[in-house]
């Protein structure tokens, strides 16, 4: 990261935020990540890493640790109140265990955040409280950290995004639904760079 690199703040140190931070730093940006949680959360469903995400994981150097952390789940068992098995559903058989793994969410998040931390400043246990944008950048106020100015702000802070609310208004003025999509590569057109990352939006109930 060279002197005078353009600065970017990534709000959210989860899967999308950590991945974006890693590749933005690789592209020459000075990256700061702010994460509301003090520690990596242990909750969340297991996640399949497959398809285009496998190539990205290999480029980031986390594929071998992901394989080692694979859940190895082969079936789901339904039990009654006394713990007696009532039904079993086999999980989908993987064609090649070296091309797809299922891992606990916290394992994936932890590995991605470790990679991001190699080249980015990580601010934990804090969150954004206000944004002030002008033609030259964005002044960001935090709950605990002193205010800072950035050239770019990336909101990767989930369904109830603080960045989205501060930038675009209360949730009530936003569309009620959004499609769920995953992409192996997202273009940041304004800065004319391309970074491999996974981008997600969630569908809210009617």
Per-residue pLDDT of 27-80, as tens digits, reads 999 999 999 998 877 667 889 898 899 999 999 999 999 999 988 777 888 888
Q: What is the pTM of this model?
A: 0.75
203 in a domain, yes or no? Answer: no
Residue 204 CA to residue 2 CA, distance in Å, equals 41
Domain that holds residue 176: 7-68+104-196
Least Cα distance to 113 among 30, 19, 195, 46 occurs for: 19
Give residues with Cβ within 8 angstroms of 187, minimum separation 6: 193, 194
Q: Is residue 160 part of a domain?
A: yes
> Is 185 part of any domain?
yes
Instruction: Identify the residue with better confidence: 39 or 24.
Output: 24
Asked if 97 contacts 10 with a C-beta cutoff of 8 angstroms, the reply is no
pLDDT at 95 over 80: no
Whether 93 is covered by a domain: the verdict is no
Give pLDDT, residue 97: 62
For 70, the token pair is: 């694979």
Q: Is residue 27 part of a domain?
A: yes
What pLDDT does residue 44 have? 72
pLDDT at residue 205 tops 70: no
Helix (H, G, I), strand (E, B) or coil at 10: strand
| Band (13; pLDDT cuts 50, 70, 90) | very high
- Residue 171 falls inside a structural domain: yes
Residue among 200, 196, 188 at smallest CA distance from 22: 196
Least confident of 96-100, 136-140, 154-158: 96-100
pLDDT of residue 155: 93
pLDDT at 190 over 80: no
Inside any domain, residue 88: no
Q: Total structural domains in the chain?
A: 1
Q: Say if residue 82 is exposed, middle or buried (CB neighbours under 10 Å; 0-12, 13-18, 19+).
A: exposed
pLDDT at residue 94 in the model: 56
What tens digit of pLDDT does each residue of 102-153 get?
899 999 999 999 999 999 999 999 999 999 999 999 999 999 999 999 999 9
The domain spanning residue 163 has which CATH number?
3.50.50.60
Residue 48, judged by CB atoms within 10 A of its CB (0-12, 13-18, 19+), counts as: middle
Residue 170 — pLDDT band, cuts 50, 70, 90? Answer: confident
Query: Is 130 among the domain residues?
Result: yes
């Amino acid at each position: 990261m060279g002197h005078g690199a353009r600065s970017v703040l990534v709000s959210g140190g989860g899967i999308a935020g950590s991945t974006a931070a890693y590749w933005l730093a690789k592209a020459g940006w000075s990256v700061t990540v702010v994460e509301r949680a003090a520690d990596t959360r242990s909750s969340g469903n297991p996640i399949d890493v497959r398809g285009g995400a496998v190539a990205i994981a290999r480029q980031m150097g986390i594929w071998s640790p992901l394989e080692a952390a694979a859940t190895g789940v082969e079936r789901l068992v339904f039990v009654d109140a006394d713990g007696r098995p009532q039904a079993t559903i086999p999980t989908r058989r993987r064609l090649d265990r070296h091309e797809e793994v299922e891992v606990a969410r916290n394992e994936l998040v932890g590995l991605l955040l470790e990679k991001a931390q190699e080249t980015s400043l990580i601010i934990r246990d804090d969150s954004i409280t206000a944004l002030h944008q002008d033609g030259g950048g964005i002044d960001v106020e935090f709950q605990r950290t002193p205010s800072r100015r950035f050239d770019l702000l990336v909101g990767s802070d989930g369904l109830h995004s603080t960045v989205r609310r501060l930038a675009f208004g209360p949730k009530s003025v936003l569309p009620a639904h959004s499609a769920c999509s995953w992409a192996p590569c997202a273009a940041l057109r304004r800065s004319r760079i391309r970074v491999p990352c996974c981008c997600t939006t969630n569908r809210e109930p009617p």
